[in-house]
Amino acid sequence: MALIAFGLIAAIVILSAVFVIAARNPVHSVLWLILTFFSAAGLFVLIGAEFLAMLLIVVYVGAVAVLFLFVVMMLDVDFVELKEGTLRYWPFALLVGLIFLGELGLVWATSGEISATTFDPSPGGETNAEAIGAVMYTDYLLLFQMAGVILLVAMIGAIVLTLRHRPNVKRQNVGEQTGRRRADAFEMKDPTPGEGI
């Protein structure tokens, strides 16, 4: 059963990776990429590496949201045009959801065949998530924190690189607002009766 589950999930990984490249719409490409990551996480669960599966979903699927933001900012995708035909995508969305449920069922059905010897945590923890966490947060804590800072700087840099100033948008001028004098703020008028200002 585990071999059949591996074959089916590996085929889904390869097909969805091909569709990531073949999709013309960037939104569809991102959805195929998310399916690829979930399927690859299923393969990790099949070999008993549940920490890597969780890491793949949390980090990479979370990074896909940043990638999607980056693509939208770079390509200036028109969301009004994308939202017009949402009803025609419901069958496709249901198909992808059924694939997700099928993969979850396959992994759950083969979870009984996975033993502790499939993936041996070397530090001696009960599970590989506990073993990797113990090593990561004791011996390599500084490197782990530095990697987080580098990723934060890379994300801010990507947002700064794609930031465009549109000419028709009103923006605040903080220096002008804080340096404003009373004489610049109002003007005295002496209107004559019966006439407007």
Measure CA 82 to chain center.
Answer: 19
Each residue's pLDDT tens digit, 27-73: 777 778 888 888 898 888 888 778 888 888 888 887 776 777 677 66
Q: Write down the pLDDT at residue 116.
A: 47
Q: What is the pLDDT of residue 85?
A: 64
DSSP annotation string for 121-133: -TT--SSHHHHHH
Query: What pLDDT is stored for residue 149 in this prediction?
Result: 95
SS3 state at 161:
helix
H helices present in 23-117, as ranges: 26-46, 50-55, 62-75, 79-84, 90-110
pTM exceeds cut of 0.75: no
Fold of 1-85+92-119: Four Helix Bundle (Hemerythrin (Met), subunit A) (1.20.120)
Please report the pLDDT score of residue 73 as a whole number. Answer: 64
Task: Please tell me the distance from the alpha carbon of residue 138 to that of residue 125, in angstroms, as a whole number.
Answer: 14
Averages of pLDDT over runs of 10 residues in the chain (197 residues) are: 82 90 79 85 83 84 73 65 67 79 78 54 62 84 92 87 76 82 78 74
Domain spans in the chain, listed from the N-terminal domain onward: 1-85+92-119, 120-164
Which structure tokens are listed for 56? 């793949």
